Amino acid sequence: MSLELQQFLAGYLAEVEEHLSSSTQKLNAIDASARGGQANPHAVRELFRSLHTIKGLSAMVGVEPVVALAHEMESLLRAADRAGGALSQEAVDAISDGVRAIERQVRAIAAGQEVPTAPAGLVERLAALQAMTPAPAASATTLLTLPADVAAKLSAAEQAQLAQGVATGKRAVRVDFVPTPSRAATGLNITTVRDRVGRVAELVKVYPVSLPKSDAAPGGLGFALIALYDGDDDALRDAAGADAVVPLSTAAAPAAVEAVEFESTRGGSRLVRVDVARLDDAMEKLSSLVVNRFRLTRAIAAMRESGTDVRALADIMNENGRQLRDLRAAIMRARMVPMAELLERIPLLVRGLERATGKRVNLTVDAGRAELDKAVAERLFPAIVHLVRNAVDHAIETPEERVRAGKPEIGRVEVTCWERGNNQLELTVSDDGRGVDRARVAARAGRAIADTPEALLEVLTAPGFSTRERASTTSGRGLGMDIVKRIAVDELGGELHLSTTPGGGTQFSVRVPLTITIVDAFSFLAGRQPFVVPVTMVEEIVEIEESKAVRGPQMARRGTQIRVYERRGEPVPIVALDELFAIPRVDELAPAKAMVVRRHGAPFAFAVHRMLGQQEVVVRPLEDPLVKVPGVTGSTDLGDGRATLVLDLWALSSQLAEARA
């Protein structure tokens, strides 16, 4: 790695990541237009700018493989821009492959690895498509007659964008903004005006206008904003701080315009780019404050027991607790990323799968306003990719099969997510495909036919299981659903559910916590050993009534005794945690409480001796395979300086159910 790259690596990666995200958004817009047989000159031009910036940044730090690939994509987009913004499906595919290749190159840079060159044949494809791009159309503006001086300032693609907008019912307008000291005092400058106009209209071009110096134009400079608009003129005038909105088709010749063009820049945004490592450091500092609060709580309790009046300290501690919760919420908001941004690559993934499988899919992605901690989002995304890939490759039939089944030729895949309360996110991936063939799955797995969705899901998520006889470029290696379960359930402590109808489609639902660093948890004693469990895992805490419990079979594993008691007409297996973990018995104390969890919809209860309370805890995950065991997700410090284990009751209930089977 060059010295320049090492010096500017963090800034380079942050800037390139932002432009790659923008490139994906613009590609989705271009793809949607191309599917409808329309050009999208605005999106083409914005994509060109993002890739041009990536090329420039990469050249500054000496990453030549990225420079070379971005240059070829930029050349193709420049040709398309000159031709009115039209891109063929083949060109969209090639540019999409190029953006994915740059993402892989950037990941290699971040990991300190050698940067790979572009995939074989991709550069040649881009060059060939550039040669095939049609010449600029002479009639690009036949739908709109522009004033000569305005037309001289607009490229062919920008004129085509105006013409296309007028054809769809919008008006091509010009709004003039003249900077003055009084306007600047109210926050109106060309940057803020550009942003405000862009929020109410489709902004096509901004360029400077030379004006005679006067009281109205003290600097002798103004700006022309060319836009497409279909609303009330008053809203546009207010946004621009202008006196008039001039329709371009009937506009009088405006003041003389200088020859130099104004390339508007992004500005006025109240955003600050922050390295994730700094947010991680802030969370680490907050974690230390949470642990210290536990210690203060213990110290105050000891003082109270010795007879000291601690009412003033207790009030301070209560206020401190509220402040810590507010601080935690503020840091978490800073760490949150919109799910819409996380899912923006899914349309291009589906497009590639359509090419590989020959299927046709109508994809719907609805992320709403859901947000997720960046660390959780990065872990979850591969699981989402596997679910979508399985939906297209396994579930959706070929067009011919769908027609024979009386279905539309185009399959349907929906990705939807929303926040459940303030601590969980639920994501579903559903399709209208063939559904899961239980008999075929059972035959491939060598098991009995699953009679419940939960049992079927266990088979599908078994390591190495695949319904494909042989591997293809998209699936068949037995890695998909196993990875989904490992990420969603084992790593993130979430849930995975399945519902399927033969011939009617399949839906997978994933629930994960919004964050996995600081969580609300119950603390309790099993014997004299303290444990904690996340609140989200527990459905209910109940009193144990021995008279209602029926002794069941004794399991061979550690001699654990399972009992069954009735809860609102439903039988619930119950096991004592001290027996399960072989903790020395407390003869004078019998388990008095039980925490009820649900495993695949079925209840399971764990008996404990004493509930200690509910509080925020800092979870330290157990990553070392030598100490990582099923049912234990990490450790925390409750203020006594000792490690307290964080339990995964869902995993424990699954383990016990398998042992009973």
Q: What is the pLDDT of residue 3?
A: 47
The helix/strand/coil state of 471 is: coil
Q: How far is it, in rounded angstroms, from Cα 551 to Cα 106?
A: 60
Residue 305 clears pLDDT 70, i.e. is over it? yes
Q: What is the pLDDT of residue 398?
A: 92
Q: What is the pLDDT of residue 272?
A: 66
Q: What is the pLDDT of residue 254?
A: 36
Q: Which residue has the higher pLDDT, 53 or 427?
A: 427
Residue 34 clears pLDDT 60, i.e. is over it? yes
Please, which pLDDT band fits residue 658 given cuts at 50, 70 and 90? Answer: low
Q: What is the pLDDT of residue 467?
A: 65
Q: Which residue has the higher pLDDT, 184 or 596?
A: 596
Least confident of 11-15, 96-100, 484-488, 578-582: 11-15
If you average pLDDT over residues 563-569, what whole number do you get? Answer: 80
Q: Pick from 504, 567, 553: which is nearest to 656 by CA?
A: 553
If you average pLDDT over residues 36-63, what whole number do you get? Answer: 82
Residue 64 clears pLDDT 80, i.e. is over it? yes
Q: What is the 3-state secondary structure (H, E, C) of 124-146?
A: HHHHHHHHHCCCCCCCCCCCCCC
* Prediction pTM value: 0.63
- Assess contact for 431 and 411: CB atoms under 8 A: yes
Query: For the chain, what percent of residues have pLDDT higher than 90?
Result: 10
Most confidently predicted of 89-103, 127-141, 203-217: 89-103
Q: How far is it, in rounded angstroms, from Cα 225 to Cα 156?
A: 17
CA atoms within 13 A on the CB side of 183: 21
pLDDT tens-digit map of 437-468 = 888 888 888 888 888 888 888 888 887 776 66
Q: What is the pLDDT of residue 509?
A: 92
Q: What is the pLDDT of residue 402?
A: 93
Q: How far is it, in rounded angstroms, from Cα 543 to Cα 395?
A: 45
Q: What is the pLDDT of residue 363?
A: 92
Q: How far is it, in rounded angstroms, from Cα 518 to Cα 621?
A: 11
Residue 410 clears pLDDT 90, i.e. is over it? yes
Least confident of 474-483, 487-496, 539-548, 644-653: 474-483
If you average pLDDT over residues 8-28, what whole number do you get? Answer: 82
- Assess contact for 327 and 303: CB atoms under 8 A: no
Question: What domains can be seen in the chain, in order of their start residue?
Answer: 3-132 (1.20.120.160), 148-250 (3.30.70), 338-513 (3.30.565.10), 518-660 (2.40.50.180)
DSSP string over 390-434: HIIIIISPPHHHHHHTT--SSEEEEEEEEEETTTEEEEEEEE-S-
CA atoms within 13 A on the CB side of 225: 30
If you average pLDDT over residues 344-364, what whole number do you get? Answer: 87
Residue 104 clears pLDDT 70, i.e. is over it? yes
DSSP string over 510-530: EEEES-SSEEEEEEEEETTEE
- Assess contact for 385 and 473: CB atoms under 8 A: no
Residue 159 clears pLDDT 50, i.e. is over it? yes
Residue 469 clears pLDDT 50, i.e. is over it? yes
Q: Which sign, positive or negative, has the C-alpha torsion 333, 335, 341, 342?
A: negative
Put the strands of the sheet holding 620-621 in their side by side order: 610-618, 518-526, 529-534, 643-647, 632-637, 620-621
- Dihedrals phi, psi of 377, to nearest 5 degrees: -60, -45
pLDDT tens-digit map of 476-502 = 434 568 888 888 887 787 888 899 999
If you average pLDDT over residues 93-114, what whole number do you get? Answer: 88
Buried b (16+ CB within 10 A) or exposed e, 403-420: eeeebeeebbbbbbbebe
Q: Pick from 241, 158, 230: which is nearest to 195 by CA?
A: 241
Q: What is the pLDDT of residue 589?
A: 65
pLDDT tens-digit map of 258-284 = 333 333 334 444 566 677 777 878 888
Query: For the chain, what percent of residues have pLDDT higher than 70?
Result: 85
